[in-house]
Structure 1
Amino acid sequence: MSRKRWVRWAVGTPLVVLGLLVGLWQLSRSWTFQLFGELHARVETSEKVVALTFDDGPRPGQTEAILELLKRHGVRASFFMVGRNIERHRELAARVLAEGHQLGNHSYSHHRLIFKSPSYVREELDRTDALLRGLGVEGELLFRAPNGKKLVVLPWLLSRSGRKHITFDVVPRDDAEQDVELLTSRVMESVRPGSIILFHDGGQEKPGTVKAVDIVLGRLREQGYRFVTVSELLALGGR
């Protein structure tokens, strides 16, 4: 190999690898694109309607507080539940369903489903599906990846079974922040007709989340918005 060719190889190869890694990183964190199947971060609609979603539960204390708040506002939401939390708090998960909310699959262990084997990812899906069916959930089971992360294997498996991957376009980041004013402003600045709003009822206690959701529900209703489950929102696509 000539010196010039060796230099091009020595310089170009790391750049190609770096570019590939950057591309994979961007793909894994994208809320609006995946390589296979259906991904929904919001719905195109002219109606002032949004879907309020909660991740990582059920969690005693936090989930009940959210349920009481939703009941007071007369709102139905969608809860993407972690399988192992359903096992630990089955009665609470059943209560969410009994009160008219939608339950979705948020994996079994809440591990990021990237760089995992197909068998591992399939088990994460299937175990939580079985738990949801055991609670009495009927019809289509929607899925949301832990932390919204995916690369190739997860979208491929979802597409093979015709599963919809639900992400979000309004992210107040209440998993990292509990300042009520900040959470509220992030939602109000980003929301639009057809939005899917992400909050959390799992993890650590989130008193700021409860207060922010209360404020957001009131303000959006004042602006003429109504609230539906994710499945109901998907049915409105294009209207």
Structure 2
Amino acid sequence: MRWAVGTPLVVLGLLVGLWQLSKSWSFQLLGELYVRVETPEKVVALTFDDGPKPGQTEAILDILKRHGVKASFFMVGKNIERHRELAARVLAEGHQVGNHSYSHHRLIFKTPSYVQEEIDKTDALLRGLGVEGEILFRAPNGKKLVVLPWLLSRSGRKHITFDVVPRDDAEQDVGLLTSRVMETVRPGSIILFHDGGEDKPGTIQAVDIVIGKLREQGYRFVTVSELLKLGGIASASGATTASRVPPAE
């Protein structure tokens, strides 16, 4: 009887644990996960997910150009196919371009062949744009369990997440987005915004404000690859995050 009662509880506990693991952007079982960089320098990396998207991506690029800031764009393969010229503009203007999967499906409870294809198809599109050297990867919605980390580890790929999450995927109040960044940012932070998905007028305004405010505090902006070169890495083995907002969905 104890076995009959205990087994479902063990299974339930395992499922809950796996679900929590899938949502964590600061821990994974295998490979290299990069949340932020440990550095005394006032430097941060702005990142943008889910693009490119006409209207939204151009507006972000214009703001970055006006401020003289370089950022990292984690692009979805199918959006690169639809808007290749826009993706090429991001690269031409000196920004870093990374892999955010091909279809933006959550890469959990998927077969290894499915996950690998999601990575490879977007890699090929990025190479076609002219991306050279290492291609950084970011999981859709930041979700991963075992298969994705295993595949990334096997090929020596870096998985990039974030520690500052304004949640502009769910909220477009400019003041709230700005305050969430300013309350949680610290030297070495990786900041998550979105240039794809639904229209995000609040994001566009918040990015402009955040850059100005961080500049006033003495921060400078670099790409993720540049950030990773600066010092000790807060990675999966011992990462903690400064964010006090819910994880990205």
- After TM superposition, the score normalised by the length of structure 2 is 0.93
1:103 aligns with 2:97: yes
In the other structure, the counterpart of 2:247 is none
Distance in 1, Cα, partners of 2:61 & 2:134? 23
Q: Secondary structure at the match of 1:151?
A: coil
Aligned to 2:124: 130
1:22 deviation in Å?
1.0
**Aligned partners of 2:185 and 2:19: how far apart in 1?**
26
Give the aligned CA root-mean-square deviation in angstroms: 0.8
Q: What amino acid maps onto 1:182 in structure 2?
A: L
> Is 1:28 aligned with 2:22?
yes
Match of 1:113 among 107, 116, 120: 107
Q: Secondary structure at the match of 1:108?
A: coil
**1:138 aligned partner, one-letter code:** E
* 1:193 maps to 2:187: yes
Q: Distance in 1 between matches of 2:231 and 2:44?
A: 12
CA distance in 1, matches of 2:101, 2:32: 17
Q: Residue 10 of structure 1: CA displacement?
A: 2.2
Q: CA deviation at 1:11?
A: 1.9
1:91 is displaced (CA, Å) by 0.2
The correspondence for 2:200, drawn from 195, 199, 206, is 206
**Counterparts in 2 of 1:38-187, with a 5 A limit?**
38-187=32-181
Q: List gaps (5 residues or longer) in structure 2.
A: 234-249
3-state SS, counterpart of residue 41 of structure 1 = strand
Aligned to 1:60, what secondary structure does the other structure show? coil
Shift of 1:204: 1.1
Distance 2:192 2:133 in 1: 23
Name the aligned partner's letter for residue 89 of structure 2.
R
* Deviations 1:65-87, CA, capped at 9 Å, x for gaps: 00000000000000000000000
In structure 1, distance between residues paired with 2:232 and 2:150: 26
> C-alpha offsets along residues 149-168 of structure 1, whole Å, 9 cap, x if unaligned?
00000000000000000000
> Which deviations, in whole Å up to 9, do the C-alpha atoms of 1:148-196 show, x marking residues without a partner?
0000000000000000000000000000100000000000000000000
Matched, 1:15 2:12: no
What is the CA-CA distance between 1:217 and the residue it aligns to?
Answer: 0.2
- For 1:32 and 1:237, locate their aligned partners in 2 and report how far apart those are by CA, in whole Å: 18
Q: Distance in 2 between matches of 1:10 and 1:238?
A: 49
Alignment: residue pair count: 233
- Find out whether 1:37 has 2:31 as its counterpart: yes
More helix by share: 1
* Partner Cα separation in structure 2 for residue 73 and residue 47 of structure 1: 20
Structure-1-length-normalised TM-score: 0.96
Measure the CA separation in 2 of the matches of 1:163 and 1:117: 18
Percent identity (aligned): 88
| Post-superposition offset of 1:238 | 2.7
TM superposition outliers: structure 1 runs of 4+ over 6 Å: none
Of structures 1 and 2, the larger Rg is shown by 1
Query: Aligned equivalents of 1:114 and 1:238: distance in 2?
Result: 29
